[in-house]
Structure 1
Amino acid sequence: VLEVEIHSPRFSGGGWLAFPALKAAYKHVQLEIEFRPEVWDGILFLTGERDDLAGDFMALLIHQGFVEFRFDCGSGVGVVRSLETVILNQWNRITLYRHRWDAWIQLNSGKHVQGRSKGLFSRMTFREPVFIGGRGNTSGLQDKLPTDHGFKGCIRHLQINDYLYKFAPVPKGDAVKGFDIEECAADRCSKVPCQHGGKCLTSADSAVCLCPLGFTGDLCETRLDLQVPAFNGSSYLRYPGLGSSALSWLDLVIVLKPEDQSGIILYNGHRADGMGDFVALYFSDGHLEFAFDLGTGHATIRSSEPLSMGEWHEVRISRTGRLAVLQVDTNPSSQILSPGAFTQLYLPLNLYIGGVPNMDMVSPKVNIRTSFVGCIQKITINNRPLQILAEALAGVNVNNCPHPCVAKPCGDVAHCVPHYDAYKCVCDKHCEETNDMQTSGRLASFSGNTYLHYTDPDILSSATIKWCHNLKSWQSKVTSTSKNFIYSFYRILGNKLSINLRLRTNEPEGMILWTGRNDVKLTSSDFLAVGLKDGYLHLRYNLGSGESLIIFNETRVDDNNWHQIKATRNEQEGSITVDQGKTVSNRSPGKLKQLNTDTGLYIGGMEGMEIGTHYKYRRAFSGCVSELILNTDYRVKLAWSSDAVTHCGDIP
């Protein structure tokens, strides 16, 4: 007997609520229900003509994680089954519509699924109560339903044919009977208004929001531009399952940075209860393990050494039939054979990265019951790069990993591709066209691990070739004088150079600009650089006959304020000015007057900086660069984004 007033009932698996029999529903039923399941099986809704289900009936239930609507108009049972599984311990929503013998259901925001009952009868008679959460006094379930288990979890909303049911007993509510129910603790979520589609999750004494992709904060109130995903142990990303694409072979490449020694990185299974085929990649006591089951026994392969935490690692997994190979970084690979004779793998459920929504879906042969903590920047499946964020069907509590790409150094149209702690910018045709607009190229932010590299001839030379007697000798004539070759080199290469830029930094050391020779064995080869030493700016260059170093020591520039820099070179004469102060000049030794480099122009740093600069620089620039202009007429297109403005302040 129902003795307590219930607003949002919780069912223990053996309880139920009863409401009066449906009226005026013989031809048409529209139902909405919101529920928070704790297990993969259970009856949500049941009603019919007789208490033994011998006549007409309708049943809405969860079976092996999928939602099923079973109904019989008197001439045969029809079954409509969702394409997706429910999400355990989170609020789910089912919309059901039946018109005569046709029906369709929708789980959450998934696809509509349609079905039809058997035979020609299309009307239904309802004489029995509407039971919620269990079977009530109904018998004969074994012949008509795949489960007779009661629902375990909470229900907070039930609406049938536009009537919103109240779960309290009559007269305050609509319940006429009930058994073994209590108030749902998850109703604490009514005080935690998660925004932007966030889902509320309760524990013994609290409620927290699980935020969807692209949002963060206590209430999911903050929009997040995800670049490199970070997982915190309650996070995951969900993708379409591998299905039959991994029948005979599976090749995985994952670049990750772990922060905890245990946790599931990747999981794809065959059944929602964890039984059957599966693949899993996870950390166990700091070691990486790959486990799989083809149906005749599982196999687990383990890295020989534990992985270092807080560092990037590349993991390669290859499975062909029963044979699996695991390699971490450049360490020797390990391999294993799965037992039995089966060689194929079928995985129809969703693929999860970074964790899973509920550990009950994980095979009991996987000995880890926690989710991954750390960052993942690259996943390749069967030689196809996975767009980690763009291809995700859904995600929960995914944040940004601390990485240079988060600052969007490639701008709003180019794509930042992470490479461990560095990155590269990938620009398609549309990006190239957009980069010509006036809105781009004004400001770049550098973290000490980032740089820009230019090889555009317009930046390096803007040479004009008038006439050349022997085309085969063009390369040598570019770096020498010839009566048969009229040329004019501006900007970086050649006889003259003019650099105007603004910068802002609070670091006393760093390489700001560099152009040199690719042959690092030539220690006296040509180069030109602008850099910082002890907070003071300098210009240094070598035209092939000796180095010149010009230091502007009147003004320190590591005060986090914007400073205007002008550096010039006219043959051997060089000069530098800061903030329109006095000009400091010097002259390079020897007789050579031209700068001949082939590395292109680097801004902010470069790969292999110490060797590439002959140990003249050991640290990259950290700060902001604005308005880089060469030869007074060419504005270099720096990477620009709103995030760069956030880091650097207003453009001067």
Structure 2
Amino acid sequence: MLQMRRSFHGCIRNLIFNMEPLDFTGVVGYERVDLDSCLLSEKPRLALQEEDSKLLPEPHPPPRPQQCAMDGTPEYVPNAHQFGLTQSSHFVLPFNQLAVRKRLSVQLSIRTFASSGLIYYMAHQNQVDYATLQLHGGHLHFMFDLGKGRTKVSHPALLSDGKWHTVKTEYFKRKGFMTVDGQESPMVSTVGDGTTLDVEGKLYLGGLPSDYRPRNIGNVTHSIPACIGEVTVNSKQLDKGSPVSAFAVAQCYAEAQEGTFFEGSGYAALVKEGYKVRSDVNITLEFRTSSENGVLLGISSAKVDAIGLEIVNGKLLFHVNNGAGRITAAYEPKAPHTLCDGKWHTLQANKSKHRVVLVVDGNAVHAESPHIQSTSVDTNNPIYVGGYPAGVKQNCLSSKTSFRGCLRKLTLIKGPQVQSYDFSRAFEIQGVFPHSCPGSEP
């Protein structure tokens, strides 16, 4: 039943009803309608003189309907490479090992948000002689051994700011030192009476192969989540276009921010042995997306027990099934397309026995099950983030659409146990690029 009696004022064309185009010239009857003509036209804007602008106000166009953010095509840094996509991302680059026996000078440009990782490594086959540069606690540490004991040089500069830095490590005449953006570290005398650095002509850049076991450089051996540009050894630029070997290395975004990029076609699988949700869990993360639909997280079981987080038609849903039926806390923003505006949003999903609370950007919604005696989600399956494989069942997700956008700071808390997850440690990963999120922070 029509609630408005006013007739339409304007023009209509290309009307199709039941897949059939309707011809207005064959109508049975009409009143106050000009058939086959439209008397409306866009009026050209008049060029106003300066004095006229005071008399004729600028016409305001009607506001455009709000919509999701548009994904721009990312630009890349030439001759720079992103490491840290897995724990063993790396390049192996050849160099002249004879040239570094008496003097070693390695210079590179680097950009990272990370606080730890291996930047470069070289060693003799027996690993007695070696040289390495590591990031630990946000600071750089250059270590080398001429066969008679380890020498360590540290630099006070904080590297983990997401900006480009030029780093140079040097050993010469029984002295070791490091320069960051022109700022030199104190010189350190070499340990022992060794006089030459005898290493293989292989520079491991960005990390080490998974089957290589370094013995003398401590536990910071994982790939550095960083973008590394040009590299020189004793002033000779290394050819990263022809590595001896390469694994899990990608291009670098010209503008980057902290986070992991999900391209909308895959997922990351964590906790291969299975995650037990049980009665209580608190999930926190941050996300940014330009899509109105996408799976954020799912943990399921062979039965019906499961939890799920997803964006469906611009709403954020937190589903929980303790075994007695699904309950859902649904957050719908006041303004449409808020969650797909391309900006970072915070999320906290808390399950406590039969109650759930979902907090998005500080706005809380609640739900609870009428079956108060059913309190535990008995899961023992992996955590799937950003999507899940076709053959995997998810009992608390209504969508199969993979998430497109960036995630960061994923944490699952159970009582005093706080577990943060690094996507580069996922046991299975598709269409996901850890520690690499395009775009600049607003």
| The two structures share one fold, judged by TM-score above 0.5 | no
Structure having the higher Rg? 1
More helix by share: 1
Instruction: Bin the TM-score by the shorter chain.
Output: 0.3 to 0.5
User: So what's the TM-score if we normalise by structure 2?
Assistant: 0.39
Ranked by relative contact order (alpha carbons within 8 Å, sequence separation 6 or more), the top structure is 2
